[in-house]
């Protein structure tokens, strides 16, 4: 399930006391994956990200299947963020004003705002995302400093082997992994980047290392702030509010209010990021004549894939409206089901992309200029792929938990497999 940085910290603690060991493992797997992902960047000259990598490495049919599951997964993640954002923003509005507003009304407003930003050029969206990201990171650092200044015991107990395997470490790894979702945007937006062959690999490594380091340190300090013996219980009792309460306790009461606002703005940022990723996939598929060519049209003024963005807005709105009319609970059903299914889809894509790098490298002629580096690329990609297979197995094993039950898991599993199969049959002129 896609979550903000503040949420990821508490959800990992809820299932695995030493959340930072799971973060370290997830960071290592993604760094290995990033070696091949970054190396292959010059060989993938479009914005299709996972789809383009699988297409080049494992063939067009598997590539189209990946594209199909990418569209489904990121649309589901977008809608899940939209519904949860409607609830969280509504709760905050009620807290401040005493007035209740239906979640779907707030979600509709957010869809309109995201649609406007997505329709414009990427610079505007990037500025919004950048501001929200900086504020969220600053808030996490302030909480960390507050814990250090409060004199709480910085226990080393979570570093012990017995604690590292306590609880359900598999779920801890999965939640840690989900906290990195969106880092693939470095390749998705390569068309908007200056010198993408150089900037995309650099941005990929920076994203993984920075997020991993922030999660690692902060999870340890959150444990210290809550108390090693109480962290798991408190995280399970109130996963949405435990960090908010900690912020108010170790910094100042007003910090709790600030964190509540940042949780909402962070959800909005995730929603916008997923919207833009789906837009780039539609644009690339239109450009390759897999989908109607009109999706590849660029706005004459904004130089953005505005038509593809408009379709993403329409699709998101339709899914939200249908879900609301079906009276699905915005958190227990829409958010839980859609984000769980979308998360598994993304893990499938990453696993295929990792092995696509290995296959693509195997087809290239080996020359003296790239022999040593290429061998490392192959080894790292293979190791990362094996790690991703482990994450995928954990995700599938816990799929009923992610989507709300065995029946839901069977249905969503069939939907994901069906989309992949249908995608493989799509026509393509390239």
Q: What is the pTM of this model?
A: 0.86
Quick one: 425 exposed, middle or buried, by C-beta within 10 A (0-12, 13-18, 19+)?
exposed
pLDDT in the model for residue 2:
46
Residue 420 · residue 63 · CB < 8 Å? no
Please enumerate in sequence order all residues whose Cβ is within 8 A of that of 340, keeping only pairs 6 or more positions apart, or say none: 1, 399, 402, 403, 404, 412
Distance CA 179, CA 211 (A): 8
pLDDT in the model for residue 15:
44
pLDDT in the model for residue 382:
93
CA angle 147, 148, 149 (to 5 degrees): 90
For the chain, percent helix, then strand, then coil, each to nearest 5? 80, 0, 20
CA angle 335, 72, 200 (to 5 degrees): 100
Structural tokens at position 341: 């299914």
Residue 172, phi then psi, degrees to nearest 5:
-60, -45
Give the E-state strand segments of 299-346 in sequence order: none
Cite the DSSP H helix spans in 326-363: 336-363
CA angle 74, 211, 217 (to 5 degrees): 140
Residue 301, phi then psi, degrees to nearest 5:
-100, -45
CATH topology of domain 5-424: Amino acid/polyamine transporter I (1.20.1740)
Distance CA 299, CA 297 (A): 7
Closest by alpha carbon to 241, among 2, 60, 9? 9
Closest by alpha carbon to 192, among 118, 135, 242, 266? 118
pLDDT truncated to tens, each residue of the chain (430 aa)?
A: 444 555 555 554 444 455 567 788 889 999 999 888 888 887 877 766 788 889 888 988 999 999 999 999 999 999 999 999 999 899 889 888 888 999 999 999 999 999 998 887 666 777 787 888 888 888 888 988 998 888 777 766 655 555 555 556 666 777 777 777 777 766 666 666 566 667 777 778 888 888 888 888 888 888 888 776 776 677 667 666 777 888 888 888 888 888 888 888 888 988 998 998 899 889 888 888 888 888 878 776 766 788 888 999 999 999 999 999 999 999 888 988 898 898 889 899 999 999 999 888 888 755 444 544 568 888 999 999 999 999 889 888 888 887 878 898 899 999 999 999 998 887 765 5
Closest by alpha carbon to 21, among 180, 179, 220? 220
Structural tokens at position 291: 């989908």
Quick one: 134 exposed, middle or buried, by C-beta within 10 A (0-12, 13-18, 19+)?
exposed
Cite the DSSP H helix spans in 98-121: 103-119
pLDDT in the model for residue 220:
81
pLDDT in the model for residue 16:
45
Domain ranges for the chain, please list them. 5-424
Count other Cβ atoms within 10 Å, centred on residue 321.
14
Residues counted in the chain: 430
Distance CA 125, CA 114 (A): 9
pLDDT in the model for residue 1:
47
Q: What is the DSSP letter of 328?
A: -
């Amino acid at each position: 399930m896609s979550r903000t940085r503040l949420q990821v910290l508490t959800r990992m603690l809820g299932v695995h006391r030493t959340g930072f060991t799971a973060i370290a493992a997830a960071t290592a797997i993604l760094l290995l994956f990033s070696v091949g992902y970054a190396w292959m960047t010059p060989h993938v000259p479009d914005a299709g990200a996972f789809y383009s990598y699988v297409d080049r490495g494992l063939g067009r049919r598997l590539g189209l299947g990946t594209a199909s599951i990418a569209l489904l997964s990121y649309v589901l993640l977008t809608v899940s963020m939209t519904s949860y954002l409607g609830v969280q923003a509504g709760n905050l509005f009620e807290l401040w004003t005493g007035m209740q507003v239906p979640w779907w009304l707030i979600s509709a407003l957010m869809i309109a705002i995201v649609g406007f930003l997505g329709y414009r050029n990427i610079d505007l969206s990037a500025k919004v995302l950048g501001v929200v990201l900086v504020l969220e990171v600053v808030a996490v650092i302030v909480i960390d400093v507050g814990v250090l200044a409060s004199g709480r015991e910085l226990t080393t107990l979570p570093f012990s082997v017995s604690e590292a395997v306590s609880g359900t470490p598999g779920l801890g790894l999965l939640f840690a992994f989900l906290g990195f979702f969106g880092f693939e945007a470095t390749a998705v937006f390569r068309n908007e980047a200056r010198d993408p062959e150089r900037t995309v690999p650099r941005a990929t490594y920076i994203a993984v290392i920075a997020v991993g380091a922030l999660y690692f340190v902060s999870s340890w300090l959150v444990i210290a702030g809550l108390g090693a013996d109480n962290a798991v219980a408190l995280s399970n009792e109130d996963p949405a509010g435990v960090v908010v309460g900690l912020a108010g306790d170790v910094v100042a009461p007003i910090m709790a209010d600030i964190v509540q606002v940042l949780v909402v703005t962070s959800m909005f940022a995730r929603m916008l990021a997923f919207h833009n990723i789906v837009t780039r996939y539609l644009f690339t598929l239109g450009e390759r004549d897999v989908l109607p060519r009109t999706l590849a049209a660029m706005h004459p003024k904004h130089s953005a894939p505005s038509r593809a963005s408009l379709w993403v807005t329409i699709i998101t709105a339709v899914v939200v409206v249908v879900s609301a009319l079906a009276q699905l609970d915005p958190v227990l059903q829409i958010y839980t089901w859609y984000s769980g299914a979308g998360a598994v889809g993304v893990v499938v894509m990453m696993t295929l992309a990792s092995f696509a790098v290995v296959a693509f490298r195997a087809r290239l002629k080996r020359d003296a200029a790239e022999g040593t580096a290429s061998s490392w690329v192959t080894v790292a990609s293979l190791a990362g792929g094996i790690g991703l297979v482990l994450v995928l197995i954990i995700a599938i094993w816990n799929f009923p938990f992610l989507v709300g039950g065995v029946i839901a898991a069977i249905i969503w599993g069939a939907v994901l497999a069906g989309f992949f199969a249908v995608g493989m049959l799509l026509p393509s002129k390239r």
